[in-house]
Structure 1
Amino acid sequence: MPDNPEKDPDRSRPISGSTFARTARLASLPVGFAGRTTLGLGKRIVGTPANLVLDEVQRRTADQIFSVLGQLKGGAMKFGQAMSIFEAALPEEFIGPYRETLVKLQDSAPPMPPATVHRVMATEFGSEWRDKFPTFADKPAASASIGQVHRATWKDGQEVAVKLQYPGAAKALISDLKQISRLARLFGVVAPGLDVKPLIKELQDRVAEELDYSLEAGAQGVFAAEFNGDADIVVPEPLAHTPRALVSTWLESDSSLAQIITSGTQDERDRYGEAYVRFLFAGPSRAGMLHADPHPGNFRIMPDGKLGVVDFGAVARLPEGLPVSMGRLLRHAVDGDYDSVLEGLRDEGFLKSRSDLDAETIARYIGPFVEPAQVERFTFSREWMRAQTLRVSAPTAEGMGTAMKINLPPQYLLIHRVWIGGIGVLSQLGATAPFRAILEESLPGFAEG
């Protein structure tokens, strides 16, 4: 949005903010990184241990990245949301001061002024739009990266949520994502084991889909039908849509998983953490799609105890369900058969053609990640997540030496995003869940063998 949207004289200007200001903020990041790495090199020359230098560069880089992303909207905010679920991997003494900012980034953004909202409504639903919406709250009930949601009454008297896209959102989103693509190297410093470039490319490739609310309405309608009457999940039904507006049944909710992460009881963390991961895994088999935006703000806590799921703009279309090969690979790892794991990784394209990795190294690299699937119930935690991140980012053969040789095939991009993101959320929650049983129920190939 403009720095001062109420006084913005040019209503055609992208609401996601000043292009110049956003670009300047983003451009400051590589410059800062260059300075930090130069400082690190200087310390190496005078004898500071390499791991301490890297730790300092990581901390300063993460400090600047999250500070800048916290000020941005549009594509930058969307990428910030995607990245913020990985905060569980960062050291507690660093991430503590930023956790509140990251949670807010996941769940809110400054609203459009009422005059702009009315203009968007007239554009999307006609000049007599109030005939279709007898009541309409000018103040948004929720805001996100490219749009905001208003509570209203539909023409049949039903309470509805009206999702409106910010004017100029498409242009701003595409511009921001182009700028953010330059930051891949910086995120690689913060989380060396994470392949950020494919994530950025995946976001760019799906901009058109996320900007088309008609496509979102179609995906949401399938999920709503498939989960209708579910004991744990509720999905709002889409009632009407245009390419830039979506009307859905209203979900009465005052909080989300973001609030449970901040202040939930352990019972709430366990209960909603299990419902969350069960939904993510069940989507492909029940709806033929994977909900691909797993940040906590999209998962609402309902008065009846169910978990409401919103925002179906980003989905992976998997008509055959999750890949059977994925389940088989995990089963081989659980069984300790890393020769088969190595062969499967090569067959699926996870190992580059010239990779010289052996089964023993793969076992040391992957083994600890398999732990949640080896026991009846597993307690996820920030400490566990950080330990895995530190382990795979260590400058050793089974750490960065292995990570640098692993490829991420394009067909696994969204699956990888949801898998890692889901584990990140469970770790933020500190949830105990029957992860193995969930895999046996919903991951094809895992129960075999």
Structure 2
Amino acid sequence: MDNTDGDDPREHPIPLAPRLGHRHDGNVSEIVSKRSSRNAKLAKIPLGIAGRAAVGFGRKLAGGDKTEINAELNQKAAEQLFAVLGELKGGAMKFGQALSVMEAAVPEEFGEHYREALTKLQAAAPPMPAAAVHRQLDQQLGTGWRQRFKHFDDNPTASASIGQVHKAEWTDGRIVAVKVQYPGADEALRSDLKTLNRMASMISALIPGADVKPILAEISERTEEELDYRIEGGHQRQFAKAFAEHPRFVVPKVVASAPKVIVTEWLDNATPVSKIIERGIEDPAGTLELRNRTAGLMGEFHFSSPAIAGLLHADPHPGNFMVLEDGRLAVIDYGACAPLPNGFPSILGQLVALEVEDRYDELVELLHANGWVIPGKTVSRKEIQDYLRPFTDPIKTETFHFTRKWMQRVAGKATDISNTDMMKTARSLQLPAEHVMIFRVLGGSVGICAQLDAEIPFMKLMQDWVPGYAEYRTAS
């Protein structure tokens, strides 16, 4: 039974019908749930790359143009990556969506081909057939589910990693979004993540600049939460209550939820941030104000939500953020959230303050004392100073212009195994578990800002919403 908080008298619990046997109708668009079938499809990625590389090598030996051949191989690899991840949905597509946020870090020689393939994964996937949708609604809402709607559109408006969205009209006349989880998504998600973890090193080589292993680890950590839409409904209710009547943000209210179905208010005339990114590439000068304002709103939402809602929205990809006609930013998809009931940990603000003022002796001491240095390892003032230098540009000025070029430079330095000093320091450091999701979300948000090619008041957001910063600056 769904839990409701009682704040909205129009919100309805969904009684669960008895679980029915899972069946497939043979349609190729329906999610592939057999582990062997999914593994075989995922195995096509490295096998295809190896085969094409061999053919390409032969063409080069025969005198073919090296640059042209490499570009063709990259394009085919990108097309295959999208085709396989998008077709499988589940953990494969969720992983692809996480990678898409960081496409700005991919070097330019790869970017042209991977950018299109990865950004497609933000909102595109083959739809689930209507018969499968109806069976899932029968199981979750009961066989009389149609009585809850005045109208239900069988054609999905959006498809994502573990579910797709349908537009409908609720019994009280409200237009709603009905997210239905793919049958077999739970098994597929778990199977994909095991397989992808085994392929992590190969995929890292395929997409330079993408930090694959931490992304997979974080997705795996949150798997069970995201599979239960009742948890998502609880997160979204908490956000909606906290941001009710906010002048700059909109969180759609939850109408009802069940383990594999969630019904929320519909958003009219909403432009996804992914579309604003596309428009920015086509018309940089004409979209500058819109891109800066959008990036600023996204930054404010991520920085402020722990203090306002006690939660951090932890699925930062452009398809989950939309700009309404009145300029407000709407945020959807609350399956992955990090509980931060006391706001951001104050150590984050302290670390930034110490870095800004070059107080590295204190910074090193703070890292050692709070588990950021692996037990038995040591790091010096100079090592930390050199290690952090590539990442600290945004905190050196009041505003910062995030660009793909900057992201590529930072990612290149962070993954440069030839820099033995940096690699030595990196092997001495660890990110405490309680901070992993925070850094992934902020990194994803920065990645979107770079895709938007936007300038935002990064340090003002830090000062306004991250505790510890002002106190340590004052102490100096």
**What is the TM-score with the length of structure 1 in the denominator?**
0.87
Which residue of 422, 442, 450 maps to 1:399? 422
Q: Give the corresponding residue for 1:425.
A: 448
Please say if 1:209 is aligned against 2:225.
yes
Which residue of 9, 23, 41 maps to 1:25? 41
* Cα distance in 1, alignment partners of residues 43 and 335 from structure 2: 28
Which residue of 416, 422, 429 maps to 2:439? 416
* Cα distance in 2, alignment partners of residues 153 and 34 from structure 1: 50
Q: Deviations over 1:246-283 (max 9, x none)?
A: 11111114531111111131111101000001101111
Count of equivalent residues: 427
Task: Tell me the SS of whatever aligns to 1:107.
Answer: coil
* Cα distance in 2, alignment partners of residues 60 and 346 from structure 1: 45
Q: What aligned pairs does 1:370-389 form with structure 2 within 5 A after superposition?
A: 370-389=392-411
Task: Provide the identity percentage.
Answer: 44
CA-CA distance at 1:68 after TM superposition: 4.5
Distance 1:340 1:368, change over 3 A: same
* Cα distance in 1, alignment partners of residues 114 and 331 from structure 2: 26
Please say if 1:121 is aligned against 2:137.
yes
Relative to structure 2, which stretch is displaced further, 435-444 or 117-126?
117-126
Relative to structure 2, which stretch is displaced further, 335-344 or 22-31?
22-31
Relative to structure 2, which stretch is displaced further, 263-272 or 341-350?
341-350
Which residue of 159, 168, 172 maps to 1:156? 172
Q: Give the corresponding residue for 2:311.
A: 289
Relative to structure 2, which stretch is displaced further, 14-23 or 242-251?
14-23
Asked whether the equivalents of residues 107 and 209 of structure 2 are also in contact (C-alpha less than 8 Å), the reply is: no
CA-CA distance at 1:220 after TM superposition: 0.1
Q: Give the corresponding residue for 1:46.
A: none
* Cα distance in 2, alignment partners of residues 140 and 61 from structure 1: 29
Q: Give the corresponding residue for 1:247.
A: 263
Which residue of 394, 409, 412 maps to 1:390? 412
Distance 1:246 1:352, change over 3 A: same
* Cα distance in 1, alignment partners of residues 194 and 74 from structure 2: 25
Task: Tell me the SS of whatever aligns to 1:278.
Answer: helix
Asked whether the equivalents of residues 252 and 266 of structure 2 are also in contact (C-alpha less than 8 Å), the reply is: yes
Asked whether the equivalents of residues 191 and 389 of structure 1 are also in contact (C-alpha less than 8 Å), the reply is: no
CA-CA distance at 1:28 after TM superposition: 4.4
* Cα distance in 2, alignment partners of residues 334 and 60 from structure 1: 42
* Cα distance in 2, alignment partners of residues 123 and 297 from structure 1: 28
Relative to structure 2, which stretch is displaced further, 394-403 or 413-422?
394-403
CA-CA distance at 1:189 after TM superposition: 3.6
* Cα distance in 1, alignment partners of residues 407 and 127 from structure 2: 34
Structure 2 residue runs of 5 or longer lacking an equivalent are 1-22, 55-69, 281-286
Relative to structure 2, which stretch is displaced further, 351-360 or 154-163?
351-360
Distance 1:339 1:170, change over 3 A: same
* Cα distance in 2, alignment partners of residues 349 and 60 from structure 1: 42
Please say if 1:305 is aligned against 2:317.
no
Task: Tell me the SS of whatever aligns to 2:99.
Answer: helix
CA-CA distance at 1:166 after TM superposition: 0.8
Q: What aligned pairs does 1:35-54 form with structure 2 within 5 A after superposition?
A: none
Distance 1:61 1:419, change over 3 A: farther
Letter in 2 for 1:331: A
Q: CA RMSD in A?
A: 2.9
Q: Give the corresponding residue for 1:342.
A: 364
CA-CA distance at 1:169 after TM superposition: 0.8
Q: Give the corresponding residue for 1:435.
A: 458
Task: Tell me the SS of whatever aligns to 1:251.
Answer: coil
Task: Tell me the SS of whatever aligns to 1:106.
Answer: coil
Distance 1:339 1:262, change over 3 A: same
Q: Give the corresponding residue for 1:279.
A: 301
* Cα distance in 2, alignment partners of residues 33 and 96 from structure 1: 18
CA-CA distance at 1:19 after TM superposition: 4.1
Q: Give the corresponding residue for 2:355.
A: 333
Q: What aligned pairs does 1:90-105 form with structure 2 within 5 A after superposition?
A: 90-105=106-121
Q: Give the corresponding residue for 1:263.
A: 279
Q: Deviations over 1:172-199 (max 9, x none)?
A: 1111111111122234446788764343
Structure 1 residue runs of 5 or longer lacking an equivalent are 1-6, 39-54
Letter in 2 for 1:428: Q
Distance 1:189 1:418, change over 3 A: same
CA-CA distance at 1:201 after TM superposition: 2.6
Distance 1:137 1:37, change over 3 A: closer
Task: Tell me the SS of whatever aligns to 1:148.
Answer: strand
* Cα distance in 2, alignment partners of residues 333 and 390 from structure 1: 22
Letter in 2 for 1:345: L
Q: Deviations over 1:145-171 (max 9, x none)?
A: 000111111111111111111111111
* Cα distance in 2, alignment partners of residues 105 and 248 from structure 1: 23
* Cα distance in 2, alignment partners of residues 280 and 91 from structure 1: 27
* Cα distance in 2, alignment partners of residues 276 and 112 from structure 1: 31
Distance 1:414 1:36, change over 3 A: farther
Q: What aligned pairs does 1:364-375 form with structure 2 within 5 A after superposition?
A: 364-375=386-397
Q: Give the corresponding residue for 2:59.
A: none
Q: Give the corresponding residue for 2:93.
A: 77
Asked whether the equivalents of residues 209 and 408 of structure 2 are also in contact (C-alpha less than 8 Å), the reply is: no
Letter in 1 for 2:460: A
Q: Give the corresponding residue for 1:15.
A: 31
* Cα distance in 1, alignment partners of residues 292 and 105 from structure 2: 20
Asked whether the equivalents of residues 338 and 363 of structure 1 are also in contact (C-alpha less than 8 Å), the reply is: yes
Q: Give the corresponding residue for 1:236.
A: 252
CA-CA distance at 1:440 after TM superposition: 0.5
**What is the TM-score with the length of structure 2 in the denominator?**
0.83
* Cα distance in 2, alignment partners of residues 190 and 258 from structure 1: 23
